[in-house]
Chains A and B, each alone.
Chain A
Amino acid sequence: MVIVTLIGLFFVLMIIGVPVALAMGITSIVVAFQLDIPLSMLVQRMVAGVNSFPLLAIPFFILAGEIMNTGGISKRLVNLSDVIVGRFRGGLGIVNVNTSMLFGGISGSALADASSIGSIMIPMMKKKGYDTDYAVAVTVSGATQGIIIPPSHNMIIYALAAGGGISISSLFLAGIVPGILLGIALMVTAYIIAVKRKYPAEKPSTFKEVLIAMKEAVPGLMTGVIIIGGIMTGIFTVTESAAIAVAYAFITSFVFNREVPISRIIPVISRTFKTLAMVLFLIATSSGFAWLLALLRVPALVSEKLLSLTNNPIIITLILIVILLFLGTILDVAPIILITTPILLPIAISIGMDPVHYGIVMMMCMAIGLVTPPVGGALFVGSAIGKIPVENVVKALLPFYVSMIVILLFIAFVPQIVMFIPNIFG
């Protein structure tokens, strides 16, 4: 009975437009009342959710991304991609995906990716005669790479939700190959559509132009190298490498490049704070919510039900994927990770999946969720920049959904693709 209140109330509140994090908070209060749990326990749970060392890296990742963005790095990455892949038909579409791949290696956030690359690429593509629906579809599907290509703050949240037994660096390393595969799949899709719709190609660049673009982009790309390199070699902890990346990004953008005045650091910090507040609020209330679910034995009930249905690992994997994809369409990433991991991870482990492998499969499902309505952060950001209804973008996204799902199934059923790099370094 209480379980019904918990889930029912949450969905009703969410549908009537209560912010998702608040809906979880209010639901938790009502349920705690019903169960006669002192409300101050809920306060304790909410604070405990945020008060965790691994999460400390998140503000720095967001801040580094914002600084690089303001300091003109996105423009340089577009430039670099342009001289390399722009010569193909539909060149700008491929440039777009490729830039996201590079940017994903810096910011680690799909939304930052969609807004910064979208605001450069979408107007540029429109001007060159690309249809808006295609431009937005390419941008938002490309942006989802940010969640899979390291660093990804959602992987940190996953490691936390899994109870701390999973190393964040293994997760980061495991994301590299699937992220690149996803990028290639999206570029191929973008190319096929471009050929069909007869989009133009950019003029091929000379070797010299390539070198210049590379030289310009290197300082920005170094940020990603510092983060990944620092973690892989074990010189820095994840948090430290993220903070060093912030310092590095700040010095290159504001001290050496000086394209923008130092006063621009205030809006950068302000945007970082807003993004961080959203993420941390979701983490705080999801922690309370997940704690109540555990108290009501929901994880055990779900896994008993599911495992009594079948014990075929392939079918169970597919069921897990369907659950995650479904939740991905209606919920935001952080709450899904925090709420479902205690429930679904034990099931995944029981059929022999490695927690790192399951984590990457989950990130891939979340990536698809970011571009599917009714709740798809990247989709909304892209539609807003392109000034085009979400419905039109969704239509243009259909072939991209197909390629994303193909990659999802591929990495779900061929674990070697995911585990290959972490096993070398593990």
Chain B
Amino acid sequence: MIENILLKTRKMTEYVVFSMIIIMTLIICYQVFSRFVLNYTPTWIQPLSLLLMVWIGFIGVAIGIQDNSHIQINLVVSKFPKTIQIILRKLQRFLALVFGLFMLVEGIKFSYNMKDSYISGLSLPSAVLYAVVPLSGLLVFVYLLFEFTGKWHGVEEEGVGEE
């Protein structure tokens, strides 16, 4: 049941991010079109695409931690005995959990502090920009918590075939 909800949320998160990537590409292309054809450069495009990239990046941080797919050095660890490898892996995942908690708590504080300032070029509060940090923290924290209790085992890599 919980695994199902986690899986659905995860899929949804991915599709939201994919759409953000597509939107980002489209609006920058529109900017070029607008400048050459309409002789006018909309000012909201750059700040909006930047906002999207920060969101994509930080949600990516969370998904990368969920999948443990960020770049790591395994050359030394793989030389250790099996039991130590398992302990180190647990420790590594625990540190990721702590980092998630840090993003969640400090991210909320910082976004709150930023509620009165605005992103230049967009009439949005800066808190919208920073809000992705606690969101990413939440995604890390919840998924790792369920990983530790054995309720979450990650997503199956589906046939994303390379030629």
Chain A interfacial positions (CB closer than 8 Å to B)? 13-22, 25-26, 29, 39-40, 42-44, 46-47, 50-53, 55-56, 59-60, 63, 70, 115, 119-120, 236, 239-240, 243-244, 246-247, 266-267, 269-274, 276-278, 280-284, 330, 332, 373-375, 377
Q: Is B91 an interface residue (CB 8 A)?
A: yes
Of A39, A273, A330, chain B has the most CB atoms within 10 Å of the CB of: A273
Q: Is B139 an interface residue (CB 8 A)?
A: no
Q: Is B154 an interface residue (CB 8 A)?
A: no
Cα A267 to Cα B59 in complex, Å, equals 18
Residues from 94 to 120 in B contacting A, C-beta threshold 8 Å: 95-96, 98-99, 102-103, 106-107, 109-110, 113
Cα A42 to Cα B109 in complex, Å, equals 12
Instruction: Tell whether, in the assembled complex, residue B60 and residue A273 are in contact, meaning their CB atoms are under 8 Å apart.
Output: yes
Residues of A within 8 A of B50 (CB): 51-53, 56
Cα A35 to Cα B112 in complex, Å, equals 24
Residues of B within 8 A of A281 (CB): 57, 60-61, 64, 70
Instruction: Sort chain B's interface into a size bin.
Output: 35 or more
Residues of A within 8 A of B113 (CB): 40
Q: Is B69 an interface residue (CB 8 A)?
A: yes
5 extra A-B contacts, CB within 8 A, seeds A15-B77, A273-B17: A18-B95, A43-B107, A59-B56, A269-B18, A273-B60
Q: A284 and B25 in contact (CB under 8 A), knowing A17-B92, A273-B18?
A: no
Q: A277 and B129 in contact (CB under 8 A), knowing A15-B73, A119-B162?
A: no
Cα A271 to Cα B49 in complex, Å, equals 20
Instruction: Tell whether, in the assembled complex, residue A21 and residue B71 are in contact, meaning their CB atoms are under 8 Å apart.
Output: yes
Cα A34 to Cα B121 in complex, Å, equals 38
What total count of A-B pairs have CB within 8 Å?
Answer: 180
Partner among B28, B72, B99 whose Cβ is within 8 Å of the Cβ of A25: B99
Identify the closest chain A residue to B133 (Cβ).
A43
Q: A59 and B21 in contact (CB under 8 A), knowing A43-B133, A236-B32, A243-B32?
A: yes
Q: Is B7 an interface residue (CB 8 A)?
A: no
Identify the closest chain A residue to B65 (Cβ).
A22
A-B contact pairs, 16 of them (CB 8 A): A19-B71, A20-B72, A21-B61, A21-B71, A22-B99, A47-B54, A51-B54, A56-B28, A56-B46, A56-B50, A119-B162, A239-B28, A247-B29, A277-B70, A281-B57, A373-B75
Chain B interfacial positions (CB closer than 8 Å to A)? 14, 17-18, 21-22, 24-25, 28-29, 31-32, 46, 49-50, 53-54, 56-61, 63-65, 68-77, 88-89, 91-92, 95-96, 98-99, 102-103, 106-107, 109-110, 113, 129-130, 133, 160-163
Residues of B within 8 A of A46 (CB): 133
Instruction: Tell whether, in the assembled complex, residue A16 and residue B77 are in contact, meaning their CB atoms are under 8 Å apart.
Output: yes
Q: A29 and B102 in contact (CB under 8 A), knowing A43-B133, A44-B110, A56-B50?
A: yes
Cα A17 to Cα B59 in complex, Å, equals 22
Q: A278 and B77 in contact (CB under 8 A), knowing A40-B110, A240-B32?
A: no
Residues of B within 8 A of A243 (CB): 25, 28-29, 32
Partner among A13, A44, A120, A277 whose Cβ is within 8 Å of the Cβ of B64: A277
Question: Nearest 7 A-B pairs (CB), nearest first?
Answer: A277-B60, A280-B57, A19-B70, A243-B28, A17-B77, A40-B110, A19-B72
Instruction: Tell whether, in the assembled complex, residue B46 and residue A53 are in contact, meaning their CB atoms are under 8 Å apart.
Output: yes
Question: For chain A, what secondary structure do more than half of its interface residues adopt (helix, strand, loop), or is it mixed?
Answer: helix
Residues of B within 8 A of A29 (CB): 98-99, 102
Identify the closest chain B residue to A247 (Cβ).
B29
Residues of B within 8 A of A277 (CB): 56-57, 59-61, 63-64, 70
Identify the closest chain B residue to A120 (Cβ).
B163
Cα A374 to Cα B98 in complex, Å, equals 27
Residues of A within 8 A of B49 (CB): 56, 239
Identify the closest chain B residue to A64 (Cβ).
B25
Residues of A within 8 A of B56 (CB): 59, 273, 276-277, 280
Q: A276 and B88 in contact (CB under 8 A), knowing A17-B76, A20-B71, A25-B99?
A: no
Identify the closest chain A residue to B98 (Cβ).
A26
Residues of A within 8 A of B29 (CB): 243-244, 246-247
Instruction: Tell whether, in the assembled complex, residue A119 and residue B95 are in contact, meaning their CB atoms are under 8 Å apart.
Output: no
Q: Quote the shortest CB–CB distance from B126 to chain A (angstroms).
A: 10
Q: A271 and B160 in contact (CB under 8 A), knowing A42-B106, A50-B53, A240-B32?
A: yes
Instruction: Tell whether, in the assembled complex, residue B71 and residue A26 are in contact, meaning their CB atoms are under 8 Å apart.
Output: no
Partner among A14, A19, A47, A244 whose Cβ is within 8 Å of the Cβ of B32: A244
